[in-house]
Amino acid sequence: MKKNHQWNLSYFAITFLVLALAQLFFVERHSVQSIPYSQFLQLVGEHKVSELRVDKDQISGKLQEPIDGHDLFTTVRVDPTLAAELAPSGVGFSGVSENTLLNGLLGWLLPFVMIMVLWQFLFRSMAEKQGIGGLMNIGKSRAKVSVERDTGVTFADVAGIDEAKAELVEIVSFLKDKAKYTRLGAHIPKGTLLVGPPGTGKTLVAKAIAGEAGVPFFSISGSAFVEMFVGIGAARVRDLFEQARQAAPCIIFIDELDALGKMRGVGAFGGNDEKEQTLNQLLAELDGFDPREGVVLLAATNRPEILDPALLRAGRFDRQLVIDRPDRKGRQAILTVHLKKISVAHDIDCERIAEITTGFTGADLANLINEAAIVATRRGGQTVNLDDFTAAVERIVAGVERKSSLLRPDERLVVAYHEMGHALAAGTLPGMDPVHKVSIIPRSIGSLGYTLQRPTEDHFLISCQMLKDRIAVLMAGRAAEFIVYGQISTGAADDLTRATDIARQLITRFGMSAELGQSVLERQNPTYLGEHMAGFGQKDYSEQTAREIDLGIRALLEEAYNRAKALLDSRRADLDAGARLLLEKETLTPEEFPPLMPLKSAPDGSP
């Protein structure tokens, strides 16, 4: 077993100090004669003493006639008055001094030892966490290595991404049977980049590949390479690939690659930036290692738009697999995997749960199942049923109920009309997701009520009319308030924000405005972490065009508001009845109030 001996300059200093003190002790002990104070007084009276040195507690000097071969002496002082009284008696007496050598050692050595202890246990541990620890380990990789039994994940634990799994099966086959691919000169791609929103299972897929292949799995985050000193990250990249070559066949997985592979030349730093040096070393390693050695590089990111182009070219990360949010079929498969971990009712329907979880990622679904189990435990149930999953979805989407927040009766009635306006418009307009539940119970996110719609299927294409209908549903809450009270309130603030965003995208991104034509005025950035903040994007159109955009947005909102008022005027009886029932029960479903059911032949919204 190879041992790494680490030497510290402080260890040499301690050894040198101990040897020096020991030498001083022994030399002084063997060359100086200690005599009683009474003998000293006698020698002084006989004029046999010279070169006296008088300290506070000790007297030393030189003898004219050596005693026992020593011509130097030392004695401990005694109080002069007491010495004068004892001298005539002829009794020998001497003073007793404290152990000055021990005091000296403690006075000099103890503070030094305390400093060393503080260095060892405090500063050194903190320095290692900050990347400036022991000089011998400063470039070592922090990759945590696990083998098949440690990952505990196979492709059976990964669901909802069948297309990506089919691509990754080749990597497993290469690691298991390398000769099958190399016999014709082919080699596995050097690098595979997994791209997708957070929570879609990129890290889980990498672990599943290692579990299926039964090879060592080197896992490290991109941020672990970047440290305080320039060059440390590059040294760690070299060390990681060297470890991987020795353990081949194996898998290297770099999570959050964007922390390491950010595009060069962007920002205020030049070529000496630590991140650039680390990225350059990674590029060199990708060019230098032979994929036939059995080292497979996987990486994951949810910010592909900021990666350096040199990192994505062929020969480095040859494949880029998009792991997106699962569709309904994928969500059903993911739920089937996770439901095995909890006790569910025998009549549970995964398809119905998948219908009400549109847009959920794999991590969201795992969290949903855990929340549903908590809800079932809280009510004292023996199994988890569909109502528990519905309550968990509401908790995740809308927040926690705040029943302690009491509204005045007149405010509760306004909220009831507002939410019923949303619900009736959603149930009336064609192509809208059916209403699942309406509630006027305040939620933790700040809403005083909510209308939960349950999509029956995933939409990949949305028509211009569907977008206008969505705006009308959002404006229906304010329209209901105006119809009943003749005035509006601040309750529609969030609705107006969402409606304005849809109207702006309809005009600037989708080219659906008759006045501005089919030109794209605001480009969509390929991001998975949300859009850029409004007002900071670059606008490459004139002020006149900007005014036309503002007028177009205003016209779309006014049109949707008028449609919503006309629609609710035609269903005024349902609006009043639904608001009174909602005020009584606080929560309504279409089964409890049939007018919320989708109409088979919906009107066009005209009065």
d(CA 282, CA 287): 9
- Give all strands (DSSP E) within 471-603, no chain letters: 587-588
For residue 83, give every residue at least 6 positions away whose Cβ sits within 8 Å of its Cβ, in sequence order, or none: 37, 38, 41, 93
d(CA 41, CA 45): 6
- Most confident range, picked from 4-13, 257-266, 388-397: 388-397
Paired with 195 in beta bridges are 301, 322
> What's the CATH number of domain 409-529+539-596, 1.20.58.760, 1.10.167.10, 1.10.3720.10, 1.25.40.20?
1.20.58.760
Q: Is the pLDDT of residue 536 over 50?
A: no
Q: Is the pLDDT of residue 346 over 50?
A: yes
What pLDDT score was predicted for residue 136? 46
Mean pLDDT of the chain: 76
Main-chain dihedrals φ then ψ at residue 187, nearest 5 degrees? -140, 155
Fold category of 32-97 in CATH: 3.30.720
What is the per-residue DSSP string for 170-188? HHHHHHH-HHHHHTTT---
Band the pLDDT of 499: cuts 50, 70, 90.
very high
Band the pLDDT of 297: cuts 50, 70, 90.
confident
Kindly list the distances between the CA atom of residue 380 and the CA atoms of 63, 211, 391, 399, 569, in Å, as whole numbers in the listed order: 99, 38, 15, 22, 45
d(CA 235, CA 280): 11
With CA atoms as reference, report the closest residue to 526 among 360, 359, 322, 361. Answer: 322
What pLDDT score was predicted for residue 491? 86
Region label for 185, one of left (φ > 0), alpha (ψ between -120 and 50) or beta (otherwise):
left
d(CA 332, CA 154): 19
* CATH number assigned to the domain covering 144-322: 3.40.50.300
d(CA 221, CA 254): 5
Hey, which residues are catalytic here?
Answer: 419
Fold category of 328-398 in CATH: Helicase, Ruva Protein; domain 3 (1.10.8)
What pLDDT score was predicted for residue 61? 73
Q: Is the pLDDT of residue 132 over 60?
A: no
Q: Which residue has the higher pLDDT, 95 or 259?
A: 259
Q: What are the domain boundaries of the chain?
A: 32-97, 144-322, 328-398, 409-529+539-596
Q: Which residue has the higher pLDDT, 121 or 5?
A: 121
What is the per-residue DSSP string for 327-389? -HHHHHHHHHHHGGGS-B-TT--HHHHHHT-TT--HHHHHHHHHHHHHHHHHHT-SSB-HHHH
Cis ω before 607 (30° cut-off from 0): no
Band the pLDDT of 121: cuts 50, 70, 90.
low
* Residue that is written with structure tokens 């968990």 in the block: 392
Kindly list the distances between the CA atom of residue 18 and the CA atoms of 9, 118, 545, in Å, as whole numbers in the listed order: 15, 20, 84
Band the pLDDT of 62: cuts 50, 70, 90.
confident
Mean pLDDT across 528-554: 73
Main-chain dihedrals φ then ψ at residue 76, nearest 5 degrees? -90, 130
Quick one: which H or E segment has residue 321?
strand 319-322
Band the pLDDT of 534: cuts 50, 70, 90.
very low
The pLDDT > 90 percentage for the chain reads 16
pTM, two decimal places: 0.67
The pLDDT > 70 percentage for the chain reads 69
